[in-house]
Amino acid sequence: MKNLLTPLSFLFFIFFSNCKAPGANADKGELADTLPKKDTIPALANAQDAPKLDTTLYNQKLREIFHNKRPGAWMPDTSYPLAGAILPFKRVVAYYGNFYSKGMGILGKLSPDTMLAKLQEEVKKWEEADSLTPVQPALHYITVTAQGKAGKDKKYRLRMPFSQIDKALELAKKINAIVFLDVQVGHSDVKQEIPLLEKYLSLPNVHFGIDPEFAMHGEKVPSTVIGTMDATDVNYVSGYLADLVKKYNLPPKILIVHRFTTGMLTNYKQISKHPEVQIVVNMDGFGIPAKKINSYKLAVVNQPIQFAGFKLFYKQDQPNLMQPSEVLKLYPKPVYIQYQ
């Protein structure tokens, strides 16, 4: 299928080939810092102590997402997550980017304090637009960035030093935000990248994101074509996250899958669901509102998986950046909002 948004939608990442993170080794694909010590997460004393999911409220919030209509193929009312799930009880509003780059998103464009203050302003706007749904702020940090040069291992990706993930976690604490770790695999794959982040993903406030746009095949170079992932990739990640939830007695993880063309994600009907993982397909194309809405319908709504997300670009969406009241008219209402 033809791209719904021009391939220029990802060319602003072209600086990746020149992005060199202090302490990171792109050639060997090695992480410079050692992993932090994992926080101790107490096990539940017995089954009676386990928290219970409010299924009545869950169903109510689900109806609100679908404008008080049945979700149909999207999600049957009997498909419940484990207790402690964020969605659909809250709407996540996230700031996206990389601290080393002003061009990759709002996280690196502003000073930390200014960025956090601006995120809190956006949170307030969303709470005002939908007073029935609390907002969970989030920092969505790109921890593996696609590159325009292969490096010695020919993987076309650069892993950020763990000190930068630590920075995201420390900033998140200031506003009670959760953290997403995002991976652009280049010529690597999720099986190689996600295990390196396990000690972070074993924390209850850390979630995950994958970006098929930068998953390359054959001889293709990131940012020259739009990449693709298959249901098998998503299933590996969701299965891995589900195992972590069970191993460490965690609340459900959220998995963000970026998408703005149907070709970016193949065999969507074969994607498995787990009560331990909440999957959000995030429409991350930019353009005028009509184009974004059309992409949302084609790449997200018409191929339902579980939850829907919607991305807003401070720069590329101007001068018609969609406001919360406009986004909330979409069917279904996005439960995850990302600002770049």
88 upstream amide cis, omega within 30 of 0: yes
Query: What percent of the chain shows pLDDT beyond 90?
Result: 74
Task: Kindly tell me if the per-residue pLDDT of 89 is higher than 60.
Answer: yes
Residue 48 lies in a domain: no
- What pLDDT was estimated at residue 78? 63
Residue 288 sits in which domain range? 84-339
Residue 6 lies in a domain: no
189: three-class secondary structure by DSSP = coil
> Which stretches of 50-191 are assigned E, i.e. beta strand?
91-97, 135-146, 157-159, 178-183
Residue 78 lies in a domain: no
Residue 60 lies in a domain: no
> Which residues have CB under 8 Å from 170's CB, separation 6+?
none
Q: What does each C-alpha distance from 2 to 9, 135, 297, 309 come to in angstroms?
A: 14, 35, 15, 22
Burial category of 57 from C-beta neighbours within 10 Å (exposed 0-12, middle 13-18, buried 19 and up): exposed
Name the band, by pLDDT with cuts 50, 70 and 90, for residue 5. very low
The helix (run of H) or strand (run of E) holding residue 325 is helix 324-327
Residue 102 lies in a domain: yes
How many domains is the chain built from?
A: 1
Residue 250 lies in a domain: yes
CATH of the domain at 326: 3.20.20
Distance, CA of 24 to CA of 33 (rounded, Å): 8
Residue 10 lies in a domain: no
Assigned token pair, 20: 């060199």
pLDDT in tens, 233-266: 999 999 999 999 999 999 999 999 999 999 999 9
What is the pTM (predicted TM-score) of this model? 0.85
Residue 20 lies in a domain: no
pLDDT in tens, 26-57: 333 333 333 334 443 334 334 445 678 999 99
pLDDT in tens, 259-292: 999 999 999 999 999 999 999 999 988 889 999 9
